[in-house]
Structure 1
Amino acid sequence: MPPDEILKKIHEYVYWYYDIDNGYSTHDQEMEIRTEIEAYNKYIHLFDGIPDDIAREIQGYCNHDDNSSWSDTFDLCEDEIEAYKSITSYHDEEIDEITVKRLINAAKTDVTSELSSSEYLYIWDTFQKYLSEIKTIRNISREVEPFRDLLIEMEEIIASECYNGNIQNYSSWGVWDGEGRFFRYPVTFSSPLLEKKERHIPDHLTTDNLILGKYKFGANHLYIYKALIKVIRHMEKKYEISLIDLNKK
């Protein structure tokens, strides 16, 4: 049985939300009181085995007050605890532990910046999304690795054709040579584990990160390497060739 103060709050909550004047019966009230007492009893054992700081953190998310149902509080806290356990015990045969930890930290950072908290249910959902993206990217990477160098060469040709007519242009000896010049448009590499802008593609950049490269035009983004992969696949299909085989020759 809950402490007297908690029991009193439960009765007050039930009598207010299940008021007889609103069509509820005393039987309805008695049933709801029993439900609330049962939920409270389950709630106090919900955090058994959970570190104290994590328990306090999750209880803060649940934000139980006198106007809250213990049933709702229990359900919310239970979901948070299950998400916390899923995060801390996660193991994947395809993804190494270091990458998993980095993805979890990236998910925490994103959730914290958006919600000003670290709610584990949102972290788990975000982590799952990042994990799916990483696995998809790795599958694509294995396919395009044989013509990685070709992708880089093609992208550099495209990027070097950018022109801005408003840029002042001087010759190498400092003489005014008219307006406008060509320049190499930078590639932004953006993923849960990387955010960097490059004007020259570093040799050490992994293929996983390479194919996420994009041109950022304000709010619009063009995933240039993904587009080039589609062009290559289109050429292979249309002309019945294999760039992998040609590359071997």
Structure 2
Amino acid sequence: MAPYIIAGLWFLFVFLVIYTILAWKKEHLVENTDVIRRTWYLIFILGCLVYLTNHPYSLFEKWTSYLIVLVAFVIVDSLLFLNLYISKIGGHEMRMREKQVSETEELWNITNRKVDNMEFVLNAFEYPSYTRSKDEYVHELENSMNAYAGKEFLNVDVLPYRTSEERAAVLKGDTKGKIKRQLELRKAYYSSKDKYMLMPLQILDEEYVAKVTSISDEVNIHDVDTNILNMMLMVFTLAVDNNIHDKGGDEC
């Protein structure tokens, strides 16, 4: 049994070495860290079970050895999969890698810029006092959203999502089942590959979908864009009379 255990340990070591090299050289190959980490846990537990099956009393007779292995496991897990490293050995202080801090700072700057652009649009956009039809109401709402989206190199199309034909026009591609479930849950759907987002809207008690697309390869759509567009919908609803008027000015 000992040769198999030693072979398993060498296999685990080689696996960790390969993972570490890929993490340094080609980060996109190790993006699915959760699956790799679950495999790492599975191998560790399997090794413990195999050894305990053959040496059941070793857990009590050699408990210090198990403790050493557990500590080593936790350290390796923290360094490789939790992206932590020791900054002060004496104080046992752990911190995130500089890259993650840089990414967080970049996201913070992006959010601040988007909020500033939203504030500018809300103050500068000329809201109509009323609209003559639902189509005009939706069109003006779309214009207000695009006033913000244009500053972020995005484009917004407000699409009806009421009839089966209208829903079929929105739900396209291999992921239409997933898109439908997300919209039914009143959640936005993101496609990082095609750089677009679908977010459900309720306008004048009817269902619509805002399709947000990126008009630049260097621009991504963020969660904060969803929040901002929802806020712009709320402001538009408060600013524009939702009683539809006909051409003569009388309420319908």
Q: Give the alignment's TM-score, normalised by structure 2.
A: 0.24
Of structures 1 and 2, the one scoring higher in RCO (CA 8 A, sep 6+) is: 2
Q: Over alpha carbons, which structure has the higher Rg? A: 1
Q: Give the alignment's TM-score, normalised by structure 1.
A: 0.24
